Amino acid sequence: MHTFIFEEQPGRTAVSNGKEYLFFSGYSYLGMSHVPEFNALLQEGLRKFGPLFPSSRISNTRLALFEECEQLLSSITGFAETVLVSSGFIAGKLSTELWQQQLQYPANAHPAIRPRFGNLQPSKGNIVATDSVNILDATVNNFSFFKPQTDFYIVDDSHGFGLLGANGEGIASSLPFAKDKGLITYSLSKACNIIAGAISCSKEVASKLRDMPEYTAATAPSPAFLYAFIHAQELYASRRKKLDQNIRHFRSLIGDTARISSPNGLPIFILPSSVNELALAEEGVIISSFAYPDPNGKKIQRIVLNALHTPGDLEKLASCLNKIL
């Protein structure tokens, strides 16, 4: 695997070893770090709240901002409550901790929702944990394996929230179970560019989560980022629209090329393993090319579009792929 070291934050392009490339990797789907209006909101948040509020969420001294953000997330997802934590990974671990001796989960489930016991072997319980989006094959889960007798569902929507749905609610609007029968756990970093994670759930489950030491003893997410998130909802909507335009344009450029797969309209396109990523790099294009989540596993070749890409960028990418494929 060839590693590119960047000298600044990638966006539609990235600079490595003094050379500029078109960048089709990473998970910053909406490209918010390069949106001036978003960065202005972040700077405003820093002025008002600073980068950190180092206090327990159950302290007698609190910021109203955290509850305001949780209420917004509940409104977006349609769940009764939301619990904010420092990352999507922590959100997943916190969620599964409640039922870890009862969990069932697919073998390819994200490590954030795998229990810590049994060397990743599923138990005989009746609580199902799964991902909403499989980024390794660019598919959205249809939950066909869910069974009527399942007691509770845990869905990791880190690659759906902020991206899927009419209002960026992710998988929440199309879950095949009542919202009091499950929860969603997600990162806010992928689409929203926010260093935080969240769990949207029922009031009863939220109360249990807020009693856990992983919540009570942990530092909350940066209030400056949460301030930017709260006030950037219109920006997110406009960037989702731009990303959708990019997806549709790129699809029109590659047509029905059978060797490029993206069955569910995601900004992720899977390439055959035979594609030489260094040949693309010689053409000035960087793609995602590494083994994940097992660094010793099979290398996966992906194109990841973001909302910053221009029609010209997509046309050059399609031309390069046509030459190589």
Q: Can you list the domains of the chain with their CATH numbers?
A: 13-35+234-324 (3.90.1150.10), 53-221 (3.40.640.10)
Give residue-wise pLDDT tens across range 17-52: 999 999 999 999 999 999 999 999 999 999 999 998
Place of tokens 């807020």: 210
Pairwise pLDDT comparison (188 vs 275), residue with the higher score: 188
pLDDT of residue 107: 56
Length of the chain: 325
Q: Indicate if the pLDDT at residue 117 is higher than 60.
A: no
Concatenated DSSP letters of 227-242: HHHHHTHHHHHHHHHH
Tally Cβ neighbours within 10 Å of residue 107.
Answer: 8
pLDDT band at 114 (very low <50, low <70, confident <90, very high): low
Q: What is the mean pLDDT of the chain?
A: 88
Q: What's the whole-model pTM score? A: 0.89
pLDDT band at 273 (very low <50, low <70, confident <90, very high): confident
Give residue-wise pLDDT tens across range 130-158: 899 988 888 898 877 677 777 889 999 99
First vs last C-alpha separation in the chain? 20
pLDDT band at 104 (very low <50, low <70, confident <90, very high): low
